[in-house]
Structure 1
Amino acid sequence: MNRSPSTSRRTLVKLTIIGGSKGTGAQLASLAQAAGHEVTVLSRSGQGPKDVRVLTGDAVSPAAAAAAVAGADAVVVTVGGSKGNPRHRAAVTRTVIDAMKEQGVQRLMVQSSLGAGDSGSLMPAPLRIAMKVALAKPLADHNEQEAAVQGSGLDWTIVRPTGLTDKEPAGSWRALETGDSGTLRGSIPRADLAECMLGLLEDPASIGKAVGVSS
């Protein structure tokens, strides 16, 4: 499916982004804030986009995760890898899930990667082979992360982008679920991915789905 407006949107007011100091998370935080949402970012650096509430802390800490998700209508996890911890994404995601359950927050979105789970079929064969070789360790982390999300009992959506770039956004993208016809391209600008994620987050039809995204 290509970019299209949804006829059914969920009203979100308070959004927490775990790992929103830079990259896609920061882009999403800025977009959501501009759209009128109250945005909280949790980051180890204590940095975040302008006009966004920023909490300093490591999301693998139950206390930090609980403080970040308290009162949120939805939570998005966009953390990257971490030196010395090959399962950092999975560890953060499990801690956030536990915090959400304790705080009564139900809506969760996680940024994974194309190639994780059952999404290999959405890539052209040469790219599929290259991803398995070059990104074996990150994909193992994402697989564990996705398993935690899918078994969480929360209202989850998994977003699996192709390679991320800092190019100017095109304002459009291609989104496919496993089993859809066609394949995805090799990259997408972070700004386009962030806009796609915000739309999916507000769309109840995306709950329980894992979506691959590229330009």
Structure 2
Amino acid sequence: MKILVLGATGNVGSRFIARAVHDGHQIIAYARRPEAVVNSPGITVVGGSAEDTDALAAAARGADAILISITGPMKDHSFMQRTLPTILTAAEHAGVRRLVLISVFGAGDTAQKASGFARLVYKTALGGFLRDKAASDKLLMSSGVDWTIVYPVNLKDAAPLPDGATVTPLSEVGRVPGLPTLPFENAAAGILTVITDSATIGQRILLTTPAGWKSAG
């Protein structure tokens, strides 16, 4: 599979690229700072910004999917709402229909499945940031592309969990107790599972620890 990655130098994007290449996929690493991408066989590095429609469309031509793993400063409460329309236009010009967006658990109605303490954190410390995420999630869902939205729980730089990540349709999740934290490596592996599975098209997916969720049933 040929995948264009937006956010190639980020904590999740860089690890996703390494895992995807290891598994035999081709990667187009589209980055504002291309010199920061660890280049290796299987990776094509392209410099550019997510706001540059023409450059992004040129880079995306021939790709099977686009992974959107970018986020703005916490104080910027409109970054994704401003940027996602440009990405959608570029994808249309490039003829790429499959888009996978990395959102965050706690955005929009996902917060209803969170613990009481988590909801308090989301509402106070992260309110504006999560509202921006929720608005861009809705924009993607109404765009007409073959979308998937992934909602990771809190992520951290830590040794991978031996049991990996749990990848579950949000509709099957009853609640997410506490504040589960998932290592970046496990998140990258889970995202690769999602983007390579056409059955996830049109789904919202929770990405958490094996014990970090309770079934809706």
User: Do they superpose with TM above 0.5?
Assistant: yes
Aligned residues: 203
Distance, in Å, in 1 between the alignment partners of 2:55 and 2:115 is 40
Mapping of 1:31-46 within 5 angstroms? 31-46=19-34
- How far apart are residue 83 of structure 1 and its match? 7.6
Amino acid at match of 1:181: G
- How far apart are residue 91 of structure 1 and its match? 2.4
- How far apart are residue 85 of structure 1 and its match? 4.5
Amino acid at match of 1:72: A
Change beyond 3 A, Cα 1:85–1:61: farther
Change beyond 3 A, Cα 1:68–1:82: farther
Change beyond 3 A, Cα 1:44–1:82: farther
Render the CA deviation track for 1:122-154: whole Å, top value 9, x for unaligned: 211211111121111211221121012101111
Distance, in Å, in 2 between the alignment partners of 1:126 and 1:161 is 17
Render the CA deviation track for 1:170-210: whole Å, top value 9, x for unaligned: 14223441452342542111111110010011111211111
Change beyond 3 A, Cα 1:121–1:48: same
Q: TM-score, normalised by structure 1?
A: 0.88
Q: Which has the larger displacement, 86-95 or 129-138?
A: 86-95
Gaps of 5+ in 2: 210-217
What residue is the counterpart of 1:9 in the other structure? none
Mapping of 1:100-111 within 5 angstroms? 100-111=91-102
1:36 is paired with a residue of what secondary structure?
A: coil
What is the identity percentage for the equivalent residue pairs of Structure 1 and Structure 2?
27
Query: Are the aligned partners of 2:20 and 2:192 in contact in 1 as well (CA < 8 Å)?
Result: yes
Distance, in Å, in 1 between the alignment partners of 2:196 and 2:75 is 35
Distance, in Å, in 1 between the alignment partners of 2:99 and 2:38 is 21
Change beyond 3 A, Cα 1:91–1:68: farther
2:173 is paired with a residue of what secondary structure?
A: coil
Query: Are the aligned partners of 2:7 and 2:30 in contact in 1 as well (CA < 8 Å)?
Result: yes
2:191 is paired with a residue of what secondary structure?
A: helix
Query: Are the aligned partners of 2:100 and 2:147 in contact in 1 as well (CA < 8 Å)?
Result: yes
Whether 2:162 is the aligned partner of 1:174: answer no
Whether 2:35 is the aligned partner of 1:66: answer no
- How far apart are residue 84 of structure 1 and its match? 7.5
Whether 2:188 is the aligned partner of 1:188: answer no
Distance, in Å, in 2 between the alignment partners of 1:182 and 1:132 is 17
What residue is the counterpart of 2:81 in the other structure? 90
What residue is the counterpart of 2:192 in the other structure? 198
Match of 2:123 among 132, 135, 138: 132
Amino acid at match of 2:121: A
Query: Are the aligned partners of 1:122 and 1:212 in contact in 2 as well (CA < 8 Å)?
Result: no
Match of 1:163 among 154, 157, 170: 154
Query: Are the aligned partners of 1:61 and 1:95 in contact in 2 as well (CA < 8 Å)?
Result: yes
Q: Identify the structure with bigger relative contact order (alpha carbons < 8 Å, sequence gap 6+).
A: 1
When the two chains are superposed, the root-mean-square deviation of aligned CA atoms in Å is 1.7
Q: TM-score, normalised by structure 2?
A: 0.87
Change beyond 3 A, Cα 1:175–1:121: farther
Gaps of 5+ in 1: 1-12
Distance, in Å, in 2 between the alignment partners of 1:95 and 1:29 is 23
Amino acid at match of 2:54: A
Query: Are the aligned partners of 2:115 and 2:175 in contact in 1 as well (CA < 8 Å)?
Result: no
